[in-house]
Amino acid sequence: MRGIPSLITNIRKKVFTEVARMAYDGGDYNKAEDLPYVIVPGDSPLHRESIFLERAIAGERVRLAMGLSIRPVQTRSLMTEGMDHAAIAQQYYEPPLINIIPYACHACPTKQYRVTENCQNCLAASCQQVCPKGAVSFVNGKSQIDQNKCIKCGKCAKACPYNAIIYMERPCAAACGMDAIGSDEQGRAHIDQLKCVACGQCLVSCPFGAIVDKGQIYQVVRSIMEGNQVIAIVAPAFIGQFGKDSTPEKFTTAMKMLGFDRVVEVAVGADMCTIEEAKDFLEKVPKEQDFMATSCCPAWHSMVEKLFPAQFKNISMTLTPMVFTARLMKKQFPDCKVVFVGPCAAKKLEAIRETIRSDVDFVLTFEELQGMFEAKEVDFAAIPEGDSMREGTAAGRGFAVSGGVAKAVADLIHETQPDLEIKTAGAEGLRECRKLMTMAKAGKYKGYLLEGMACPGGCVAGAGTLLPVELASTVVGRYQKEADEKSPLASAYRDAGEGLD
C-alpha cells in the first residue's frame, strides 16, 4: 500500500505531525490528551462505527508515536499515563516495537476457501466431486464450503470453471515471513513477539491500519530544542521520498530547518561496510566457513539467529552502514546525538542493542520525518538549495535495493582480484530468505556470498517508506549514476572503517 494515498496514510501523517508540533511548541506532553480531537475532528466518524472509537485508536497511535506501550482495555488510565518516562530526549525504544491496537483490528478471516457469487450451480459440480472431505455441498442453489470439514487443499478452487472459489488469508499474516501472527480468543490478530523480527511488513499490509510501530519523533525534537548537536545520518533510499522537489540539496536545507546540525549520507558507511565485508569473505570463505551472509538487514540477521542458530556464525561480523556512519560522526563530534533516518522499522531494534545504543541515539523512518516536515511547514518547492551530499559512492547508494549489497562486495573483489569468481545468491522477503538459508544449511551454497533482504525489493520497500517500491528503485538507480565515484576504494573514508569496529 506504500505510495498509495489512503485514509490510513493520512491518519498516520496527522499523528506524526501533531506529535512533532507538540514537541516543537514547548514539549508539554500533557497536551497529548487533546491530540485525538485534533486528529479526528468533528462529530461524525469517517471510517469506524463511532467517533469515540476513532479517537480512542488515535490516542493509542499518539502513545505509540511517542514510544509508549498500548494501554490495557480493561483498566481506566489517562492517555498521558507514563509519558513522563518517555518524554525525555534520552529515551530508548522498548520492545515490543510492532504492536496491534486490538479494537482497531477487523478480525479478518484466516486461511479459508470461500464460494463467491460467481457460482453458477453447474451440473458438473466439479468442486464437490474433487473435495476429499465432502466439505462442499449445494445450499440454496449455490455451492457452500463447510469450514469445519475443509482441509484447505484448494482442489475445489482449481476445479471450478468459473473461478468462483477464492482463497482468503489475513493480509498481515500473509505478509509475515516469520509466521508470527496468529489470533487471540476473539479472532483478532496477535503477534508472537518471540518470532517477530520487526520487519514491519505486517504494518504496511494491514488494510485497517491496526498495526503500528513505536516512534521517537518527540524525543528527537526535544533533543534538538534542548540545544544538542543533532546529526542526521540518512539512508540512500531517501532520494525522492519527499516529492519531486526534494533534491538532495533541498533536502539538506529542509533538515536544517528542522534543527539538525548536519546531514550525512549513510552510503558513506555502506562503502566502509563493502570494504570490510569483502575482506571478511576473502579471509573466511571457504577456509573457515562454507559461505558468508551479508550483515546489513537487521530483520534478516534476526531471522537467521532465531531459525538457523547453527548458521548464525556465517553472517559477516562487519558493522552495518548505519553503525559505521554513526561511529564516524561520534568520532568527529564526540558530544553529538545521532539520528538514523531510513526506510526500516527493524533498525529501531538494532539501535537498542547494548553494543550500538551509544552510537545511534534515535531512529526515524521517512514517514515519521515527513511528519516533522509537516509540523514545520516545510515546502520543498519554495526552499533554497543547501549543501550537496556527494561523499557516498554509487556502490554504497546501491545498498538501498535488493541485490545491491552482494553486488557491491563482489564488484569490489573483482577490482582487486579480477580472476577470482565470486558466486552470489540472494533472497528478498523473509519467506524466500528462509528458503535460501534452508538450502545453505543443506550445503547447496558452498563458497557463496549470500544476501538476505527482509523486505521484497530491498530497503526501498521498508515499512517506513513513502514511495511505491518500483518507483523508489528507479529513483535510487538514477541517484547511483549521479555519484562522483563508483567504487568504495575511491571513497575518502576507505580506510576509516578499521578504527571504528
Domains of the chain: 7-107+172-218 (3.30.70.20), 112-168 (3.30.70.20), 219-499 (no CATH)
pLDDT tens figures, 166-177: 999 999 999 999
* DSSP type of residue 319: P
> How do residues 103-138 score in pLDDT, each as one tens digit?
999 999 899 999 999 999 999 999 999 999 999 999
pLDDT in tens, 316-368: 999 999 999 999 999 999 999 999 999 999 999 999 888 888 999 999 999 99
Q: Is the pLDDT of residue 1 over 70?
A: no
**Structure confidence at residue 356 (pLDDT):** 87
pLDDT at 86: 73
Strands 448-453 and 292-293: parallel
* pLDDT 10s digits, 393-406: 999 999 999 999 99
Average pLDDT over residues 87-116: 87
Contacts with 353 (C-beta within 8 Å, 6 or more apart), sequence order: none
Helix, strand, coil content of the chain in percent (nearest 5): 40, 10, 45
With 0-12 / 13-18 / 19 or more C-beta atoms within 10 angstroms meaning exposed / middle / buried, residue 235 is: buried
Going by C-alpha positions, the residue among 327, 473, 476, 462 that lies closest to residue 395 is 476
Cell numbers given for 251: 533536502
Separation CA 237–CA 339 (nearest Å): 15
Length of the chain: 501
Q: Name the pLDDT band for 448 (thresholds 50, 70, 90).
A: very high
Distances from the Cα of 322 to the Cα of 318, 350, 366, angstroms: 11, 10, 15
What confidence tens digit (pLDDT) does each residue in 416-440 have? 999 999 999 999 999 999 999 999 9
Side chain identity at 118, as an amino acid letter? Answer: N
User: If you average pLDDT over every residue of the chain, what do you get?
Assistant: 94
Q: Tell me the average pLDDT across 196-224.
A: 96
Q: Give which of 479, 8, 457, 482 is closest to 241, Cα–Cα.
A: 479
Give the tens place of pLDDT for each residue, 32-61: 999 999 999 999 998 899 999 999 999 999
Mean pLDDT of 371-388: 96
pLDDT, one tens digit per residue, over 213-235 is: 999 999 999 999 999 999 999 99
- 136-166 pLDDT per residue, tens: 999 988 999 999 999 999 999 999 999 999 9
**In which band, very low, low, confident or very high, does the pLDDT at 500 lie, cut at 50, 70 and 90?**
confident
